[in-house]
Amino acid sequence: MSFLKVSHFFTAIAMKALHNEHGDMRFSPEYRHGAGIKDETFRWRNNGTGKAEIPYYIHPSIEHLTPLINKAIDQYHKLTCLRFVPWKDHRDYVYMFKDNGCYSYVGRVGRAQKLSLGDGCGYVGTIVHELGHALGLHHEHQRSDRDTYLNVYQNNIKSGQEHNFNKTPPSEELIFTKYDYASIMHYGCYAFSKGYRLKTMEAKNGTPLEEPYNKPGLTNSDITMVNKLYKC
């Protein structure tokens, strides 16, 4: 098998994992019927030193991904005021394990909240993306103002996956930055496409849209968003 075919093979697995049938964002009932991340209840708490603390546990099923998880966490440590700490009897924590696909609950939902890194999720960019959800970040391409920057092709979206392109209601949203096509929270142009090479969205200014697994990590706007969200 040629390198190109191998590359396409693994890209297809990574895309299927991220764009799984249930989507990569999960919400608690309270979050869905509340004010979203505007409600500070869903943010991780300050540990008394001015830094929000996010306890996490890595299940043995994804122990082999620990070096990649550490690289993703290190970005948040170096660029934001957040601190991920290994779980030690904390009540609320992020439970990282292997399930079908990549997904995370949005914001702090309480107790052991699931963050799945299944087959195809072993990329630093993907992990940074899922951790972003756990912190409370939504998808960039679902911002309430996205139509100013994106063309979304509803007819090209796989049946049943249209909700992955719904805009976030302004009542549940906090926007601190300009629209960022390169954001780690932005999907690529073929996300949830129903056919080969059918784009589901495209930047109005022609900027290429890459998938999170093809990105190095947080952009300046991602960093600003996290730091303002947590009042760093």
d(CA 124, CA 65): 10
- Looking at residue 5, what is its pLDDT? 33
Residue by residue, pLDDT tens for the chain (232 residues) are 333 333 566 788 999 999 998 899 999 988 865 677 889 999 999 877 778 999 999 999 999 999 999 999 999 999 999 999 999 999 999 999 999 999 999 999 999 999 999 999 999 999 999 999 999 999 999 999 999 999 999 999 999 999 999 999 988 889 899 999 999 999 999 999 999 899 999 999 999 999 999 999 999 999 999 999 999 8
Catalytic site residue from 130, 173, 202, 210: 130
* 172 assigned to active site: no
Tokens 């409600």, residue located = 39
- Looking at residue 6, what is its pLDDT? 36
CB atoms within 10 A of CB 69: 23
Contact at 8 Å (CB) between 221 and 185? Answer: no
d(CA 76, CA 107): 15
CB atoms within 10 A of CB 83: 16
- Looking at residue 34, what is its pLDDT? 66
Residues of each annotated binding site for Zn(2+): 129, 133, 139
Q: Which residues pair with 147 in a beta bridge?
A: none
Q: Is 8 helix (H, G, I), strand (E, B) or coil?
A: helix
Residues of each annotated binding site: 129, 133, 139
